[in-house]
Amino acid sequence: MSLRVELSHTVNCQDVVKIARDACHVILRVYHSKAESWNVEHKADDSPLTRADKDANAVICDGLARIAPHIPIVSEENQQVAYETRKGYQYSWCVDPLDGTKEFLKRNGQFTVNIALLHGSHPVLGVVAVPVDGTVYWAVKGKGAFVQRRGQEAQRLQCAEVDMSRSGLVVVASASHLTPETQEFVAQLQAPTFQQMGSSLKLLMVAEGMAHVYPRLAPTCEWDTAAAHTIVEEAGGCVLQAGLCDSKGKLLEDWKAALAKQTSVQYNKESALNPYFVVYGRKSQSILA
């Protein structure tokens, strides 16, 4: 004997923006303190973890539980839930409380707070906040993408138009630190220029129209991209799969063939590891070279 229960709930994006801002405040308290008080640890994958990551995670998880207590939270800094449980999630939060901890440790300001709401395997709401300068980006599926800088009104985002045959496209990548696959991708372009940035800010450069394309032919995790993914899509761009990789980041299929399928990156998978991917701005024709 069973009873089917369906819940209806409205999530206000500005409530999530406030939670992200609150997380920024606790991150900055740590950021502006003495480095020896940051309590730096290293996780199993050797990635760094600080007091700022933990404090921000607590603020975000508490805030999301308050505004939507029935929606489960998947965070980089929480104990991971078994896929047998997660695969049944209709909605779930995907959180990186401090994306770019290595940038935080360098004190270069290029780190973010990432909060996404997933509907099944696709993000439908995304908020990315930049603690150091107070900028917040957000988007809701079907309702556009926006940015608000400190002391300014919110502005709608629109990706730049992308024609892969055009000369001088702006690529988000380090010209001096390209993987072989990225070198191969860039070789298709005519006289590209390069911009460097840390954390999810790389995707947001495409969403803002400051760059045309961001090839990420190297490993990332779902919480690194889910929030910014929504913002890119609502600004008119796309985030396309470019080949599955294993836990060590080794490519398992031909990236060109995978990219040609023009399949969006998916979330809440059995593994939190993203495939390789390419972020494009607004396409003027086929985005593939």
Contact call for residues 158 and 150 (beta carbons, < 8 A): no
Tell me: is residue 163 an annotated ligand-binding position: no
Task: Give the C-alpha separation, 39 to 120, whole Å.
Answer: 36
C-alpha dihedral, 225 to 227 to 230 to 232, nearest 10°: -60
Task: Give the C-alpha separation, 27 to 157, whole Å.
Answer: 26
C-alpha dihedral, 39 to 42 to 43 to 46, nearest 10°: 160
Residue type, 78: N
SS3 123: strand
Tell me: is residue 62 an annotated ligand-binding position: no
Half-sphere exposure of 78 (CA within 13 A, CB side): 21
**Residue 12, token pair as written in the block:** 């206000």
Tell me: is residue 98 an annotated ligand-binding position: yes
Tell me: is residue 45 an annotated ligand-binding position: no
Task: Give the C-alpha separation, 211 to 172, whole Å.
Answer: 6
Around Cβ 264, how many Cβ atoms within 10 Å?
A: 15
Beta-strand pair 213-216/238-241 = unpaired
Tell me: is residue 189 an annotated ligand-binding position: no
By CB neighbour count within 10 A (0-12 exposed, 13-18 middle, 19+ buried), where does 50 fall? buried
Contact call for residues 21 and 129 (beta carbons, < 8 A): yes
> Which residue ranges make up the annotated binding site?
76, 96, 98-99, 224
> Which residue ranges make up the annotated binding site for Mg(2+)?
76, 96, 98-99, 224
